[in-house]
Amino acid sequence: MAVDATHPASAGEAAAATPGRVTKRRVRTRAKLLDAAFDVFAAKGFGRVSIEEVCEAAGYSRGAFYSNFATLDELFFALYRQRADVIAEQVAGALALDGPDLDVPAAVDRVTEVLLLDLDWLLVKTDFLVHAARDPEIARTLLEHRSRLRGAIAERLGRAQGHTALPAVFGGADGAAHAVIAAYDGVTTQLLLDKDVERARAWLGQLLTALLTEGARTDTGH
């Protein structure tokens, strides 16, 4: 549950004016606040959560919060960055697992395993999407995240083009990567409503193979 955030704050923090010493205690409470915030956000939704609720869940008082963040939005942003980076690494890992050749069905399985694992994360992520949709600054950040991920996928798809020819509808590997992302987002929407992770995985697998292979393959996942 607890994401490892013990490393010093990554560059580009908008927070306090760089205190000379970064105490161990500070890092610990910051991490606890983030973890607690994740649970509370997942349970009630960002819009319905008060600062005090987060603090209570983390076992701190509001003083601790204001010592670490200026506003709930800032915490939310930090939380998203933290978790999203972890996921992105895992996806990159799952994509790199094969040798130079890409076994599409296997890679699809591994990636869906990572992406459709945690319903709570999907909830928080969607909250963040809604948030970003109304704040151009945040939207830019999210778009960059997505673009980086898409780049990794496209690169991987391109490298395997000899083996499994991609459909021509999309202009090359980049278009195909776009399609992969869209399929993932689409499946996510349904998953948020019916909460059936297994079905979502199988369904995403079908969609991806349908999108990524020219001829239809009769490989019903489940």
Partner DNA sequence: CTCGTCGGATACGCGAATGTATCGGATACA
Partner DNA sequence: TGTATCCGATACATTCGCGTATCCGACGAG
Query: CB-wise, 31 or 108, nearer to DNA?
Result: 31
Chain contacts with DNA (rule: CB under 7 A): 19-26, 28-30, 50-53, 55, 59-64, 66-68, 71-72
Q: Does 186 bind a copy of itself (CB under 8 A)?
A: yes
What residues numbered 94-123 form the site for a copy of itself, per CB under 8 A? 123
Q: CB under 8 A: which stretch of 31-39, 97-105, 106-114, 191-199 binds a copy of itself?
A: 191-199
Smallest distance, Å, CB 150 to DNA?
35
The DSSP result for 72-119, as a single string, is HHHHHHHHHHHHHHHHHHHHHHHHHSS-SS--HHHHHHHHHHHHTS-H
DSSP code of residue 38:
H
Q: Does 193 bind a copy of itself (CB under 8 A)?
A: yes
Query: CB-wise, 131 or 156, nearer to a copy of itself?
Result: 131
Please name which of 7, 50, 60, 56 lies closest in space to residue 29, comparing C-alpha atoms.
Answer: 60
* Alpha-carbon distance values, 214 to 72, 86, 107, 133, 167 (Å): 47, 33, 17, 34, 5
Q: Does 65 bind a copy of itself (CB under 8 A)?
A: no
Smallest distance, Å, CB 169 to a copy of itself?
4
* Alpha-carbon distance values, 30 to 76, 77, 78, 158 (Å): 12, 13, 10, 41
Smallest distance, Å, CB 166 to a copy of itself?
9
Question: Is residue 40 a contact partner of residue 54, using CB atoms and an 8 Å limit?
Answer: yes
Listed in sequence order, the residues at least 6 apart from 114 whose beta carbon sits closer than 8 Å to its beta carbon are 87, 90, 91, 94
CA distance 9 to 81: 11
Question: Is residue 44 a contact partner of residue 65, using CB atoms and an 8 Å limit?
Answer: no
Q: From the list a copy of itself, DNA, none, pick the one residue 206 interacts with, judged by a Cβ distance below 5 to 8 Å according to partner type.
A: a copy of itself
Smallest distance, Å, CB 164 to a copy of itself?
14
Q: From the list a copy of itself, DNA, none, pick the one residue 147 interacts with, judged by a Cβ distance below 5 to 8 Å according to partner type.
A: none
Q: Does 164 bind a copy of itself (CB under 8 A)?
A: no
Instruction: Give the residues lining the site for a copy of itself (CB under 8 A).
Output: 43-48, 123, 126-127, 129-134, 139, 142-143, 146, 167-171, 175, 178-179, 181-190, 192-194, 203, 206-207, 209-211, 214, 216-220
